[in-house]
Structure 1
């Protein structure tokens, strides 16, 4: 049996190697150290440029078929389920914003005097520049995705939808076989730069703080969801959470909502929700209910902004959270699908640079399995709410 290191394991190894090499190289030879840092800065420039090129295609590939496929459901139940799922996702994002802005500035603000991303960028400049302009802007891609997605749903498209579904499969292949395998190398280069400039200690301390805060927020969100579901169904919330626990632990291993659907569906039926509702909503929620991922994205992005000395305001974040709930629709069943779908929003709405996006991806990927587990476990609670609401 082959031993295979998962993506999170590879990222952790990449960070550890980057920190070790970044501390060791200057002691060996300063000129050689600078050459190695510039080499990986060149790789990061190429990878970042390719990622920026692919982002609009990711948005179209995910959102257009995702919206069109929603139109296949039975009208009333689909509408109610979508409202509950979206409301849960948005509530999770707002809760994460409130907690993160109350806690993180007390630790990050006093510890970080300069922009981490700026310091890393200045330390290692690429050997050359290569422009990879995207075929369209982020907002253009969003508008095209909405236009075609809603249009295909309204006419019940049988010709264009298969084309968009195949396009989505192509984009998923690009993510699975190009972007995801190269991510550890990209993150290695970023952390090598930060170690070389002496910023890595600040970043790792922030990583640890944000990691703990997010896990607590995930558990708090599940508690809120099952308290509401228990009140609506007149069942013990602790019993409901215990019933859905197998789905949580399965998702920790698979890192995919789609791959966990069979377990989530089986456990959701055991909560007492009707089979008709669970059979329809659980597969649907695997693509549209992302409360755990939203908590992770909002918390991590606030951490990255504060690390780089940038302001955080609710006026900017509310539109970002509202768009997240839509942009992550039908994010692929691969690790990191949600953050890949959100990269465009991070750049266009929050002003993230390439170095900040790399930090964000590293921070998010460390949490990905926990966010996915929270997503699928929360699906059971939302299914109970929809079941009780439709009965009334």
Structure 2
């Protein structure tokens, strides 16, 4: 058994994930019944990530702040600036792409179990209420805004605790980090199950009807991932950004693509940031925060689908309204849930800017769920990999 584990570790996580991906495609295609059964592996993997992530964030942030002393460098502010600028740039990219490649939708009737936010005020109100949520409930419900708020408050309070107490907190953080490493080591099996189940259930032709819409969405996300984000990193670091970009896409984006959850990918990003040698005081805050507010992919999804609805209905979109839409999408994307499909429920809010009736807006959301097997996966891969990318760009290791 030990020799097998040693061989498994020697191969490396990324090659094993690629092997799991290929096997998942083959099993889902050639033996759908087995693929569906293997879906349990994916469910268990995502469940483990989601279970450990809230505790990880709470403990690491609390430990980082309690151990921080004056003179220790942290680089949270520049990361947040890059998060917001990157999301706004993604929203503008979606506007331009929608103008160049207008798409008409075939609206359908659909019902949704979740009610979307009614307006921007409701989004902002929910964010503020999440800040003061009960800390136990925040951890249980994976409310990362609440988790961060309480971890920061308790961390500052613990700065005045005895050295022994702070050591216990630090040791507990190390223990949770080790648990995360164990979970991440099983990622290839989780990816195998997720891919096999997806191919078995949807097949390869499930998205042909909405191929044009997907091309616009994926094209925007690729532009942000391979052009805009590297440009932002270059401006910050004055170094070739692509080695770091490809590392983040490979080691964070691939896992996020299949888990389809920024929240579930937090442990993966924490592990990658540690491997890159980044400041723990910084990434223990910026990565969970990024899973909440760094939503370039969500901004693209909101704008592309909203403008497709406007084009379908013959609504003229002026430059001023497109700019306002980008601002609203940037702010609203920060309120997108860190789970699969979170951004889609904010589309009615954006549609309200063009007086599109809620009934039609909800049909657009339904279309979003139809294509979400690809759209949401690509969106999450962009969002989550960028969390590490911008955190690394602000770190002295990648500075000028």
- For Structure 1 versus Structure 2, the TM-score category normalised by the shorter chain is 0.5 to 0.7
TM-score with structure 1 length normalisation? 0.56
Q: 1:334 aligns with which of 339, 360, 368?
A: 339
Contact 1:81 1:386 in 2 (8 A): yes
Structure 1 residue ranges (4+ consecutive) displaced by more than 6 angstroms after TM superposition? 72-76, 166-170, 389-392
Change (3 A) 1:390 1:273: same
Instruction: Provide the C-alpha distance between the structure 2 equivalents of 1:279 and 1:166, rounded to a whole number of angstroms.
Output: 16
In structure 2, the gaps of 5 or more residues are 1-33, 40-60, 66-72, 144-206
Change (3 A) 1:82 1:390: farther
In structure 1, the gaps of 5 or more residues are 7-69, 127-133, 171-202
Q: 2:223 aligns with which of 220, 223, 232?
A: 220
Structure 1 residue 103: Cα displacement: 2.3
- RMSD in angstroms over aligned alpha carbons? 4.1
Structure 1 residue 81: Cα displacement: 3.1
Q: 1:138 aligns with which of 94, 109, 119?
A: 119
Q: 1:284 aligns with which of 286, 289, 293?
A: 289
Change (3 A) 1:333 1:268: same
Contact 1:230 1:240 in 2 (8 A): no
Instruction: Provide the C-alpha distance between the structure 1 equivalents of 2:269 and 2:333, rounded to a whole number of angstroms.
Output: 20
C-alpha deviations, 1:95-149, integer Å up to 9, x for none?
1111221222xxx4xxx6xx954xx67xx9x9xxxxxxx9x95355346446656
Change (3 A) 1:379 1:169: closer
2:92 maps to which residue? Answer: 94
Change (3 A) 1:4 1:255: farther
Instruction: Provide the C-alpha distance between the structure 2 equivalents of 1:293 and 1:302, rounded to a whole number of angstroms.
Output: 14
1:314 maps to which residue? Answer: 319
1:368 to 2:371 alignment = no
C-alpha deviations, 1:33-84, integer Å up to 9, x for none?
xxxxxxxxxxxxxxxxxxxxxxxxxxxxxxxxxxxxx9x9979855443322
Instruction: Provide the C-alpha distance between the structure 2 equivalents of 1:362 and 1:262, rounded to a whole number of angstroms.
Output: 31
Q: Provide the secondary structure at the position in 2 that maps to 1:225.
A: helix
C-alpha deviations, 1:271-292, integer Å up to 9, x for none?
4543332232112111110112
C-alpha deviations, 1:253-304, integer Å up to 9, x for none?
1000111112222333444543332232112111110112211221222122
Change (3 A) 1:347 1:232: closer
Contact 1:233 1:384 in 2 (8 A): no
TM-score with structure 2 length normalisation? 0.55
Instruction: Provide the C-alpha distance between the structure 1 equivalents of 2:282 and 2:121, rounded to a whole number of angstroms.
Output: 36
Question: Which moved further from structure 2: 378-387 or 285-294?
Answer: 378-387
